[in-house]
Amino acid sequence: MAAAPAGGVRLLHHPRPWLRSLRRPLSTLAASSIQQSEESTITATEPKPATTSSNTYYPKRGQTLELVCESLAYKGKGLCKVADTGFIVMCDRALPGERFVGRVTRKKDNYAEVKKLKTISPHWDYVEAPCEFASHCGGCKTQDLLYEAQVRSKEQQVRELIVHVGKFSDKDPEYDGIMKPIVPCDIQFHYRNKMEFSFGTKQWVPAELLQQESDDTNESALGLHVPGFFDKVMNINKCLLQSEPANKVLAAIQDFWREPELGLSPYDVHSHRGFLKHLMLRSGSNVETGQPELMVNFVTSSYKPELLKPLIEKITAFPDVVSIMNNVNTSVGNTSVGEEEYTLFGKSTITESLRGLNFQISANSFFQTNTHQVCNKKIRTAPCTMQAEVLYKLIEDCACLKGDGSEIVLDLFCGTGTIGLTLAKRAKHVYGFEIVEQAIADARRNANLNGICNATFVQGDLNKIGENFGEYFPKPDLVITDPNRPGMHMKLIKFLLKLKAARIIYVSCNPATCARDLDYLCHGVPERNIQGCYKLKSIQPVDMFPHTPHIECVCLLELL
């Protein structure tokens, strides 16, 4: 069996002493409730809620409480306890050490949710958020929390979920070797290569700013949805997560699209009338020159290119704009993927390089969003790195492929094939499966682009696999699974336990469902007579998305 890569992450980053700071434990109750909410989409037995000494106390809806946030729980919610009871409440945008007044908005089986009304004293590690929209936008909830504290909290969350949901004992002598320190991100702003904005019929303005605003608050909006509302859009002129070229184009569109003579109407999600639905901006780079490339994608309710012509003329003045697309979505849903796609200017793809390969990215392709290259200014000889490179290097290290072209790799939820293609040069053959038709087309195109002939990509729903699924490929030596947020369906878990590949690399964007699936693969599901057959060798958290609650993990399992 292959050994877990020893100290692989330290080759990429210098040691950070603050990551070894004392970690405050989350409660078992919080982890249990997280598991229950995430398991609702999976056909699996849910654990019973944990019991606490606070069962005799239960706050009423609408009740106000003075609370102190103890730590951050999954999804970035602040975990608090009602004084003298130990009863747990969760509050969005509450940060560790913050004392505040909150109103109970929702009651769960074993905890309650509150809305913060007023801060009495600020949280630990406070910094001033550089973005004017940070207090209300759902994208960067922790901009006012020192970055070192952000990653420390994320590592803590993974540790607690692995213990309480994954049922791996932190008393095990091997635990410290299994649980790796989180890999921070070298750059905390302008790292996203894709942002999606929505058009709305009316700007949403925070209540505390209503008196300061003029009559233009009734104007239409282009920006981001208010968290929890599909029909409220906050006007955004600049987003600190996307590239500067993308922000310049966004500002130009904001200044121009409302002109009455253009006849452009925002889509109304209630009446289902209007033309403009979404604006998607994708940033890439020319693989030959290294110059920025920008794709602008207008999502509209119908195909009327003549209406978009003035906007096209406006933004093609920017030299970085090399592609303007139009996705036509006639449905009433809020998706940005169109039934039809048209190229209005330039080419239909932009390019990006990763692990020595070049990738063509279409408007609706999935591609790792943190590919911003940054040079380490403190070490002049250090090469430029991107967090996606760090992630894929960790995956490659965990794969432990011999390099003699003798091993079969099964790439599940392969997307556009980026992981499988970066490993293909060391494998005999890579078999990738993905439900999205466009992603499979992109994977095949990228294989051809890089001259890779030992990769096969197949469209299929991995949540609906049949008994004959294993007949589509030889028995793999390595399985890579990179599911979306709900994790893996029990059908797929049972298949993997029957398949018994020597190694599994589980790449996760959701540590809660990741911990649950690791539990099934290693410990089985006794109540269903399902036996686990894997040993968890390592789990490596990676901060791909600073200032957000999202956490990526790379987990290595080996067959017992």
pLDDT tens track for 106-126: 988 889 999 999 999 999 899
Convert the pLDDT of each residue in 380-429 to its tens digit: 334 446 899 999 999 999 999 999 999 999 999 999 899 999 999 999 99
- Topology classification of domain 194-362: OB fold (Dihydrolipoamide Acetyltransferase, E2P) (2.40.50)
The answer to whether residues 102 and 115 touch, using CB atoms and an 8 Å cutoff, is: yes
Tokens 């184009």 correspond to 249
User: Residue 291 — pLDDT band, cuts 50, 70, 90?
Assistant: confident
Whether the pLDDT of residue 231 is over 90: the answer is no
**Given this model, what pLDDT does residue 218 score?**
60
Side-chain half-sphere exposure of 376, counting CA atoms within 13 A: 14
Closest CA to 350 of 245, 490, 492, 237: 245
The three-class DSSP label of residue 359 is strand
The least confident of 39-53, 350-364, 497-511 is 39-53
Closest CA to 407 of 395, 418, 420, 394: 420
In angstroms, the Cα distances linking 247 to 241, 279, 315, 548 are: 9, 12, 12, 19
Whether the pLDDT of residue 51 is over 60: the answer is no
Q: Tell me the residue type at 421.
A: L
Range 8-124: architecture per CATH: Beta Barrel (2.40)
What CATH number labels 177-185+380-559? 3.40.50.150
pTM for this prediction: 0.84
Whether the pLDDT of residue 47 is over 60: the answer is no
The answer to whether residues 55 and 84 touch, using CB atoms and an 8 Å cutoff, is: no
The answer to whether residues 111 and 30 touch, using CB atoms and an 8 Å cutoff, is: yes
Cα 475 to chain centroid distance, Å, stands at 31
User: Residue 239 — pLDDT band, cuts 50, 70, 90?
Assistant: very high
Side-chain half-sphere exposure of 335, counting CA atoms within 13 A: 11
Whether the pLDDT of residue 274 is over 50: the answer is yes
- Sort strands 276-285 and 194-200 into parallel, antiparallel or unpaired: antiparallel
In angstroms, the Cα distances linking 53 to 29, 47, 68, 78, 266 are: 11, 19, 19, 21, 52
User: Residue 45 — pLDDT band, cuts 50, 70, 90?
Assistant: very low
Whether the pLDDT of residue 177 is over 80: the answer is yes
What is the rounded CA–CA span in Å between residue 550 and residue 75?
A: 7
Strands in 429-434's sheet, in edge-to-edge order, are 455-459, 429-434, 408-412, 478-481, 503-508, 552-559, 534-542
Q: Is 332 exposed, middle or buried (0-12, 13-18, 19+ CB in 10 A)?
A: exposed
What is the average pLDDT value for the chain, to the nearest integer? 85
Same fold, 8-124 and 194-362: yes
22-28, Cβ contacts within 8 angstroms, sequence gap of 24 or more: 23/152, 23/155, 23/156, 23/159, 24/70, 24/71, 24/96, 24/156, 25/156, 25/160, 26/71, 26/73, 26/79, 26/156, 26/157, 26/160, 26/164, 27/52, 27/79, 27/88, 28/164
Number of other residues whose CB lies within 10 A of the CB of residue 104? 19
Residue 521: partners with Cβ closer than 8 Å, 6 or more residues away: 493, 496, 497, 504, 506, 532, 533, 534, 557
Catalytic residues: 509
Closest CA to 98 of 142, 50, 163, 54: 142
Closest CA to 413 of 477, 362, 489, 474: 489
Whether the pLDDT of residue 205 is over 50: the answer is yes
Percent of the chain with pLDDT over 90: 65
Whether the pLDDT of residue 42 is over 50: the answer is no
Instruction: Compute the average pLDDT of residues 360-378.
Output: 68
- Give the domain ranges of the chain: 8-124, 177-185+380-559, 194-362
